[in-house]
Structure formats: C-alpha cells, structure tokens
Homo-oligomer: A and B are copies of this chain.
C-alpha cells in the first residue's frame, strides 16, 4: 500500500483558490457477487476461522481440522505432569461441589437425585475432548433445572407420571443439544449476543430469587407446594399452610445456610483459602447425613434423599419420546433451556478466557456444548452447561486444562460405583441450603446499580428481566428483556439524534454545540449532523426533524434580526448506510429547501451512502459541487458565496435544480 503518488490536480478548484480540496469519492463499483460474498462472510465468519488453514499442506490441513473440532488433540501432546497436578487438585475440588449440587439441582428439576450424578459423569468427558475453554467446569445449573421443571410440569406431572416425565426430560436435553450444536455449525452464534449483559444480570437475579423461593418448601419441610414459580403464588402457598411448617427442618436449614455463607465470606476475604468454601457443601452434606443418622431426625419431619441406585449411567436412547403430543413440549423446553444454558456457558467461558488471555471461538463452543448434551441425553443425563459458580471454583483451584473435568468425572464415577448408599440419610434441607447459598451469589445488585449509573435504558432492560421472571415466569422475563433490548435498537434507528454543529474556536472543526460549550455558529448557515443510518424506519422522522430545525433557526434569526438563513449543511459522517426510503427523503428535503430559498449541502458522506446516492442519481440532482469532504470546507465555500454572490436575489432563476 501506500507509496503511489495520487496527487491529482486540486480536484475542485472552484470559486477562487482554496486549493487542496478533495472531492468526495464514489467508491469504485464492485461486482454484486463479490460484495454479497463479503457481507455473507462478515455476517457468518467474522472471526475468519479458516485463516489458519491457508497455505498449509493437505495433510496438515487434516490435522488442523481434527484439532479444530477436538481441541484435546492440540493440547494433549503438550500436557505435562505439572499441569496434571494442578488439574488433579482442581478436579477433586469441583467434584466435591458437583456431587451435592448435582443432587440438589436434580431435585429442583423434579428428577430423581441420581440424575445429578449421572450428568456430572458423561458430559464432562465429552466436553474435555471438544471444548476449547480451559476453565469451564461442566455440570447442571439451577436456572435450566427450574425451567425444565416448570415447562415440563405444565404437561406432565412429575409425581403422577414420573417415567414419562423423565423420558421427556431426556428428550428435551436431546433437542437442546441439537439446537446448540446446529447454532454452532450454522455459525449463528451471534443469536446469543442478543442476550445483552443487562438482560443476563436481571435474568440471573430473577431466576435466583425464584429458585430461592422454591427452596422454602425444603427449608420449611412442606409436603404440598405450588407448581407456579411466581413470587405471589409461592408466598401464598407458603403462608396458607403455616401450621405445616416444621421447626426441625427450619433450624437445620438456617444453620447450614449460615455455615455456607460464613465459609464463603471467609474465602472471599482470603482467596488462598478458596477450598474452604469449595469443600463446604460436601462437608454440610456429610455433617447433615451423620446428624440425621444419629438423631433419627427422618422420623421427625426432616425429609431425606433415600435410596440412590448404585452403578453407572444406564443408556437412555430407547427412552426418547418422539410422539405427539408430548414431543412438542419437549422441543419447546429444549429450545428455551438450551438457549439459556448456552448463553451461560459461553459467557462463563469467555470471561475466564479473558482473564487468562486466551481466545474462545463461540461457535466451536456451541458445537461442544451441544454434542455433550446430545450424548448425555442418550446416557440418562439432563441438560448440562458450564455453571458460573463451579467454573469459578475450578479457576481458583488453579486448573490448567479441561483435564480437571476428567478428574471430576472419575471422582463422580467412583461415587456412583461405591458411595451412593452414603447419601441415604442426607437431609433435603441441606440441599436447599446449598442451593440458596449458590443462588445468593447470582444476585448481583452492584451490577444493577452500575447499570443505573451508566445507562438508564440498560437498567430498564435488567429490571424488566428481573420483574418478568419474579412476577411472571422465567420465559416471560426472558421475552420481556429481549423485547425491550430489541426495541431499543429499533428506537435508535427510528429516532436518530440530529444535532446542531458549531465552530470550535481557532479551528476548522465543527462539533456538537451541546457537547462543546465554546462553539460559535456561522451566520446564515445551519449545520446538522445525523447520527444514524437513514432507513425507512426513520426517513419520515428525519424529514420532519430537519424542517423543524430549519424553522427554529429561522425563527431565532428573525427575532434577533441577524442575517437570514441561506445554507443547510448536513454532516453525513455518522450515516453508515441509506436505503431507498432514505434517498426519497433526501429528494424531498432538497425540494423543500429549494422552495424556501435555501441551499442544501452535504458533508463527508461515506462509501455506502455515496454509492447509493450515485446510483439513484441524487448526486446529479443536488450537484456534485455541493458535496464536500468536511464541514469546514463546506462552510468555507458557503461563506465565500455568501459574501460575493448574494444568492438572495438571483437564487430563484439561476439554480439548475429548480426544474427537478
């Protein structure tokens, strides 16, 4: 690039010697196919995943391709004993968290507790081979579990027809996995981006609130409980049966919750002792079980897990349900839980990758997460992803690669083979305490305050998600938040900012008069900047708004008795694109300004805009000589004409665009 001498002779040496003016260029025409291919590439392959395959031998290409889909092939050859030591410690740590959490979340999903263990065995192994995150710890998550329970529960009762319910859960997991993997394969990962940070903060806090409310059942030892998740139904259900509350259960629950929160507080203040809070759930489970065994509390209103079947995951591909009417419920549940789980997994993976300075390919991750769910659904697992809490523990424990997931899976396998009878006396209330402690960490009120301070609209999105989840349902909250977010995008385009520019002192720069308080305006010239692409959604608005700016400016000039308005300069720097409705709008504005005896001038239109204005022959209508590279040059030209040509008197006749 670079060293060519393009010094063409001062392109528009109009109106007496301001040399060195550059004409605004129309970009060279591109064949349609080429520009179409380019925009397809930008839409679906913004990260250019095929770049590494360029200029490689065919053999090397195969290796790279395999490594692309199975990142383990890339890091395994470089794996060292050093790494293994770190992964072993972190793997055992997360296993101690995974076992009680797995059982708890399975209960939350109204599924047999053993499924929580199954789901911590097969999926982590699949992820270890396919995942590109080094810190993600695979497992089930509270929100997706709750969603499964509430969505499947609308069709099939988990207590009356547990087998069908179980099979539907596997089917939903299969469809969630298929959706996730195909989103990745079709390079549609950007759909997840539509769940903004604000949405996720509000949604997570709302879901955590809902999950905590559900735990009141366990903590208070209630037998009957509402199937709804909204706060009003739950509180009504809780307070309508105060006579059923069991104090034994309550005391145990509050005690363990206190213990868990204390350990977490301690570990947070001294990061070196992260393992204290990581081990706390398993400790609680053991303590609780021993306590119940010794006091026979299970006979005094403290519910226990009961029998857990020994043995590894039984195959479940024969149990998948592909018959109506239940399949539709499963598909719907799978879609929604799949998207939510995906969003959490990707966001968690990205955050930790950012910390450790490595890169994660969103679409590749989706394929990995999807595959692990597809495989999982065939081996008695339900929906898994990368939960934030467990991955954070993994990260703090110093994991180096996805091998920590393998260690965890082996630990869970040993538990399944030999240790399940030990969980017989584990009280449910301890599981509730574990869930509550985990959920409290998800209510990120500081982030909400930050949103309020920085961006009110984001705060509205966040609160929309929270209120929707807590007072409506998880789906309502999600739809509400995404709808508000998309509405914001549409509003940005539908109501673009138009600002008046003024001259910065001692410069040829023109800037927003509201942002820069020391600007001065140019007599007889109104300079407007349009701050968005000009599309059908805003072309009517812009037409109205521009004529209102002109009205206001003329009123102001009239009342102060200054020079009358002669020129309207539109700064197009921020207009990224234009469509045919936008071009029509310009034609109408041109007619209006002509009629009012004003001259319309454009400054700095971009490549896309120039291309389309040219094709639509608008450049001929306005006259190429009225398009300038900068606002400064436009003002200079206007000033020059103002002081020499007196356009007032001759305008009506002399201008060629009147007969358009």
8 Å CB contacts to B: which residues of A489-511? 489-497, 499, 502-509, 511
Q: Mark A601-636, 1 if CB is under 8 A from B, else 0.
A: 000001110101001100000000000011000000
Name the B residues within 8 Å of A536 (CB-CB).
193-199, 485
Name the B residues within 8 Å of A630 (CB-CB).
509
Q: Mark A517-547, 1 if CB is under 8 A from B, else 0.
A: 1101111000000011101111111001100
Do residues A8 and B198 form an inter-chain contact, with CB atoms below 8 A? Answer: no
Do residues A32 and B456 form an inter-chain contact, with CB atoms below 8 A? Answer: yes
Q: A1, A195, A560 — which one has the most chain B CB atoms within 10 A of its CB? A: A1
Least distance between A585 CB and chain B CB atoms (Å): 10
A548 at the interface (CB under 8 A from B): yes
Do residues A8 and B507 form an inter-chain contact, with CB atoms below 8 A? Answer: yes
A186 at the interface (CB under 8 A from B): no
8 Å CB contacts to B: which residues of A1-23? 1-9, 11-12, 20, 22
Question: Which of these binds chain B: A58-66, A288-296, A575-583, A645-653?
Answer: A575-583
A190 at the interface (CB under 8 A from B): yes
A516 at the interface (CB under 8 A from B): yes
* With contact pairs A2-B520, A196-B579, A612-B455 given, residues A499 and B190 touching in the complex (Cβ less than 8 Å): no
Question: Which of these binds chain B: A121-129, A239-247, A418-426, A446-454?
Answer: A446-454
Chain B residue at minimum C-beta to C-beta distance from A592: B357
* With contact pairs A573-B573, A581-B198 given, residues A8 and B458 touching in the complex (Cβ less than 8 Å): no
Do residues B495 and A493 form an inter-chain contact, with CB atoms below 8 A? Answer: no
Least distance between A349 CB and chain B CB atoms (Å): 12
* With contact pairs A493-B493, A577-B492, A606-B531 given, residues A518 and B198 touching in the complex (Cβ less than 8 Å): no
Do residues A494 and B190 form an inter-chain contact, with CB atoms below 8 A? Answer: yes
A155 at the interface (CB under 8 A from B): no
Question: Which of these binds chain B: A41-49, A86-94, A369-377?
Answer: A41-49
Name the B residues within 8 Å of A576 (CB-CB).
492, 496-497, 531-532, 574
Do residues A486 and B490 form an inter-chain contact, with CB atoms below 8 A? Answer: yes
A591 at the interface (CB under 8 A from B): yes
> What number of copies of this chain does the assembly contain?
2
* With contact pairs A6-B505, A6-B522, A27-B514 given, residues A533 and B11 touching in the complex (Cβ less than 8 Å): no
CA distance A207 to B109 in the complex (A): 51
CA distance A168 to B242 in the complex (A): 53
CA distance A546 to B197 in the complex (A): 20
A80 at the interface (CB under 8 A from B): no
CA distance A522 to B25 in the complex (A): 21
A588 at the interface (CB under 8 A from B): yes
Q: A4, A453, A539 — which one has the most chain B CB atoms within 10 A of its CB? A: A4
Name the B residues within 8 Å of A522 (CB-CB).
6
CA distance A595 to B592 in the complex (A): 54
A316 at the interface (CB under 8 A from B): no
Name the B residues within 8 Å of A574 (CB-CB).
573-576, 606
Do residues A492 and B493 form an inter-chain contact, with CB atoms below 8 A? Answer: yes
Least distance between A466 CB and chain B CB atoms (Å): 15
Name the B residues within 8 Å of A76 (CB-CB).
none
CA distance A456 to B35 in the complex (A): 11
Name the B residues within 8 Å of A22 (CB-CB).
504, 507, 509, 516
Name the B residues within 8 Å of A518 (CB-CB).
4, 6-8
Contact for A11 among B507, B595, B639, CB less than 8 A: B507
Do residues A538 and B508 form an inter-chain contact, with CB atoms below 8 A? Answer: no
CA distance A196 to B539 in the complex (A): 9
CA distance A196 to B585 in the complex (A): 12
Do residues A193 and B538 form an inter-chain contact, with CB atoms below 8 A? Answer: yes
Q: Mark A192-215, 1 if CB is under 8 A from B, else 0.
A: 011111110000000000000000
A362 at the interface (CB under 8 A from B): yes
A512 at the interface (CB under 8 A from B): yes
Q: A560, A574, A612 — which one has the most chain B CB atoms within 10 A of its CB? A: A574
Do residues A606 and B515 form an inter-chain contact, with CB atoms below 8 A? Answer: yes
Do residues A541 and B193 form an inter-chain contact, with CB atoms below 8 A? Answer: yes
A28 at the interface (CB under 8 A from B): yes
Chain B residue at minimum C-beta to C-beta distance from A21: B507
A396 at the interface (CB under 8 A from B): no
Do residues A541 and B46 form an inter-chain contact, with CB atoms below 8 A? Answer: yes
CA distance A128 to B142 in the complex (A): 63
Least distance between A476 CB and chain B CB atoms (Å): 20
CA distance A456 to B450 in the complex (A): 42
CA distance A454 to B608 in the complex (A): 11
Q: Mark A434-468, 1 if CB is under 8 A from B, else 0.
A: 00000000000000001101111110000000000
Contact for A580 among B7, B12, B451, CB less than 8 A: B451
Contact for A3 among B47, B509, B520, B615, CB less than 8 A: B520
Chain B residue at minimum C-beta to C-beta distance from A193: B540
Q: List 6 A-B contacts (CB under 8 A).
A: A2-B521, A11-B506, A25-B517, A46-B541, A454-B615, A455-B579
A residues neighboring B (CB under 8 Å): 1-9, 11-12, 20, 22, 25-28, 32, 36, 39, 42-43, 46-48, 190, 193-199, 354, 357, 362, 450-451, 453-458, 485-486, 488-497, 499, 502-509, 511-518, 520-523, 531-533, 535-541, 544-545, 548, 560, 562, 573-577, 579-581, 583-584, 588, 591-592, 595, 606-608, 610, 612, 615-616, 629-630, 639
